[in-house]
Chain A
């Protein structure tokens, strides 16, 4: 069974940092690109980052470029999102999602709240 489990969310002050993790199981992790998608409270889905199977192709939305870093450790079947210089508008549930084109499996999400 494919499983994606996010962790690392929490309350952080503006300007602070957090590192999100996504633990994958039930499939061969290094054969799939991975993504981060976020959803602000009561809002729609916001696509923020992509990483190819071996990390040689990476994309960031303009809203997070220069502040967030996506990475993966295929040996640990894990995806990461390092988030620096956090802002109130980064408050959201962060989902990891598997896939290149369509996202066929999603984690349950981890909530990041940026507030003083």
Chain B
């Protein structure tokens, strides 16, 4: 089973700032996905195939990476972006999630 390690665990930032979240895999993965989850809500798909924004996702969100190292970048944090972000791989069975990075308001 592939283990995904997200870092940092928590980011304390202000609206307008730029941030980069990391997801590192224990072995090479073929495909990586990013989700956003707000309190009391289900996760929402942000990015698939490491870099393809899902429908309706603003272009301030971007994903990159390959192999074992992937990043999610939010170019300019909006108030609605403060949430927990999870990565997930699906190229290798079973699908696995990272433990999440919380982006909180400073």
Interface residues of A (CB under 8 A from B): 35, 37, 44-47, 50, 59, 61, 95, 100-109
Contacts and interface: CB of A to CB of B under 8 A. Distances in A.
Main secondary structure, interface of B, reads loop
Contact of B48 (A44, A101, A107): A101
B51 interface: no
B42 A47 contact: no
A102 B97 contact: no
Given A45-B37, A102-B45, A108-B42, 18 more contacts: A35-B95, A44-B86, A47-B88, A47-B94, A47-B96, A50-B95, A59-B94, A95-B42, A95-B43, A101-B33, A102-B31, A102-B90, A103-B35, A103-B43, A103-B45, A103-B88, A105-B45, A106-B44
Interface size class of B (residues with CB under 8 A): 20 to 34
Contacts of A95: 42-43
Given A102-B88, A106-B44, A44 B93 contact: no
Interface of B: 31, 33, 35, 37, 41-45, 48-49, 54, 86, 88, 90, 93-100
A35 B42 CA distance: 14
Contacts of A50: 95
Contact of B97 (A47, A100, A104, A107): A47
Contacts of B43: 37, 45, 95, 103, 106
A104 B94 contact: no
Given A95-B42, A106-B42, A107-B42, A101 B90 contact: yes
B40 to A, nearest CB: 9
B51 to A, nearest CB: 12
Nearest to B93: A59
Nearest to B84: A44
Contacts of A102: 31, 33, 45, 48-49, 54, 88, 90
A49 to B, nearest CB: 10
Given A44-B98, A44-B99, A101 B45 contact: no
